[in-house]
Structures are given as structure tokens and as C-alpha cells.
Chain A
Amino acid sequence: NAGVTQTPKFRVLKTGQSMTLLCAQDMNHEYMYWYRQDPGMGLRLIHYSVGEGTTAKGEVPDGYNVSRLKKQNFLLGLESAAPSQTSVYFCASSYHPREKLFFGSGTQLSVL
């Protein structure tokens, strides 16, 4: 039972490069989320989706784009990476917004 799978686990980018983080869940959850976790701060919501084909902005959406073309996948894109985007990124999913979140194991991203 895989749960929530994130790829890649680690990535180093140069300023200005682009990349896509992939999140896949096998629990048939409608709701999916992308968070970032920085030292000394709580997790912050970047974007979320309430179902296939939908996306919405969270607390810190600038510099990121997302897509949810298939129910099981939620992609996070960085068009032009900046050092301020160095962080650990977590994908999560849930059956309902009031239900518990299931998190992936995270992606450590460094932007030089």
C-alpha cells in the first residue's frame, strides 16, 4: 500500500532553472495539497486541489504552478527557481478537508 509517493526525493537547481515535482496517491482521495517546510516555521500551504481538474492558491503560491490532470496525480512546477525556494516540499492528500492528511516523504530542494 504505497499511500502518497513523491518524486524526486532530492534535487539541486541553479537559479532560473525549472523543474516539476510529482505527487501520486493511490487512496482515491479528492483533495491534494502541496506544502513547504522551512526551519523554524510551520508547514505552509502553496496550492491545493479539491478534485481532478481543479487547483486553488494557498498561503504562499507565488513562483509556483500546479496541475491536477488526473485524480491520482498533483504536479508542482517551478518555472524559474530562486534561492528563496530552497525548502522541503511535502505533498499530502485527504478524503475530505476535515479528515486527516496523508503525507508523502518529502522532496529536499536546493536552489543555488
Chain B
Amino acid sequence: KNQVEQSPQSLIILEGKNCTLQCNYTVSPFSNLRWYKQDTGRGPVSLTIMTFSENTKSNGRYTATLDADTKQSSLHITASQLSDSASYICVVNGGSQGNLIFGKGTKLSVKP
């Protein structure tokens, strides 16, 4: 069964600290893996997309990694800011139209 599992479910960190969110997937075939940020009451916004051949991709203070062999990805946030408080969703594209498998998300709270 195609699944995307994220951990932790929720996380609280202090402003300025770093954190890493995890994503494990069993989706096959694999086309790409995406990370989205969803602020409360808003729609998700794309952070990164990585294909099979990409190991690392950065978007400002966000760095995503992908290990296609172990089917694991991580999202590292550097020097967190209050505005990073959001849910972070890992999504795997199985390659066919409409075949996006969404994780349940990690809720990150950044405290001053």
C-alpha cells in the first residue's frame, strides 16, 4: 500500500534553533518528493520538489534531503523564526496523474 509517514507528529522549538522533520514513504513507482508548508487557515505552499537523482535541495533556510534507496526524506530548518510555525507536509508523487500521496504533516511551533 502506498503510504507516506511523517515524524514527529508535532514539535516545539525555541526561536533561533534548528530542527529536522522526517518523512518515510513506500510509494511505488516514484516520480518526485515534495515538501509543503501550511500556515494555519491557509493552503499549502510548495517549499521543494526533488526527483530520484537529487539528494539535497535548499530554499532559503529550508534544506530537504532525499535517500531514494531507503525511501526517506528530511526537511531541515535552520535558525528558526516565529513565522516558521506551521504544518509541514511531505508529498510523494507516484508518477501518474492524480497520484499524489500526502503525509499527515508535522506541526511545528516556534516559541520566542
Contact = CB atoms under 8 A, between A and B. Distances in A.
Interface residues of B, number: 24
A48 B43 contact: no
Contacts of A31: 97
A97 B41 contact: no
Contacts of B31: 98
B111 to A, nearest CB: 23
Contacts of A44: 102
A45 B73 CA distance: 23
Interface residues of A, number: 25
Contact of B98 (A4, A42, A56, A102): A56
Contact of A56 (B97, B101, B102): B97
Given A43-B102, A103-B44, 11 more contacts: A33-B98, A41-B104, A42-B89, A42-B102, A42-B103, A45-B100, A56-B97, A90-B44, A97-B97, A98-B31, A101-B46
Interface of B: 4, 31-32, 34, 36, 41-46, 49, 89, 93, 95-98, 100-105
Q: Give the 5 A-B residue pairs with the shortest CB-CB distance, closest first.
A: A103-B43, A42-B102, A100-B46, A43-B102, A48-B98
